[in-house]
Amino acid sequence: MKKKRRRKKSTKRLYFTKVHEDAIIQYAITRDRHERGVLYVTLIQPAFNELVNKIIYTYKFNSLPNIECLSEECQIWLTTILDKFDPEKGHKAFSYFSVITKNWFIQKVKKNSKRRKREVNCDDVYNQIENEQFVTKNHYEGDRENREFWMALTSEIEDWKKLPLKEIEVKTILAIEDLISNIDNIEIFNKKAIYLYLREISGLNTKQLVASLSSIKKRYREFKLEWVNGDEKWR
């Protein structure tokens, strides 16, 4: 009696299937922010996360310093070029973003070889938006101090709007206000998705948003310091 041959396990890319290809195409087509948010969080982001990790270990980029930080940074970069993917050119999304990811890390390797002791700055785009309060879904509910903080921050933002701001700063502040006011209705609660959300709402490109968030972050730190130190303005 012949023994049945065991079937080899499939080596298909389960993390990046036709479903994910279609999600990226739909993301590029639609202009609906909610639909884009859902597509990104449920399908595109997990696929990008796996893709970046596979590229890192396949090509030994894990020898780079601060590789976890670079992985996050690369994924943010991929979100900024989602709109540029054009299936009409005959490229598959997997191949397109794999090549881009590989080239992105190659550039990091080149820069690192020139400055071996240079540490990659992890305090980049997503940390400018992230911290403490923006990514919170409902932590402040039921917590008096946190509710007061949010009320004070909202008031502080109103004061910022009275300052002589650049146009990109105004757009960024309005986008942040939109995010705060709709926090319970937005189904995105991670750094990369929030960055993407702010970029979509403000209509700014990556360079403009980064520059604007840099100046806003300084004002936020000043406000936070006053709050922590119990400044009379907030008591």
Banded model confidence at residue 141, pLDDT cuts 50, 70, 90: very low
Q: What is the DSSP string of 112-172?
A: HHHSTTPPP---SHHHHHHTTTTT-SSTTTT-HHHHHHHHHHHHHHHHHTTS---HHHHHH
The two tokens of residue 186 are 């937005």
Q: Where is average pLDDT lowest: 25-29, 55-59, 214-218?
A: 214-218
Question: What CA–CA distance (Å, rounded) separates 53 from 117?
Answer: 24
The two tokens of residue 89 are 């050119």
Q: What is the DSSP string of 198-225?
A: HHHHH---HHHHHHHHHHHHHHHHHHHH
Most confident of 98-112, 126-140, 163-177, 185-199: 98-112
Region 125-143: what's the mean pLDDT? 49
Region 42-53: what's the mean pLDDT? 93
pTM of the predicted model as reported, rounded to 2 decimal places: 0.50
The one-letter amino acid code at 87 reads P
> Where along the chain do its domains lie?
18-114, 125-234
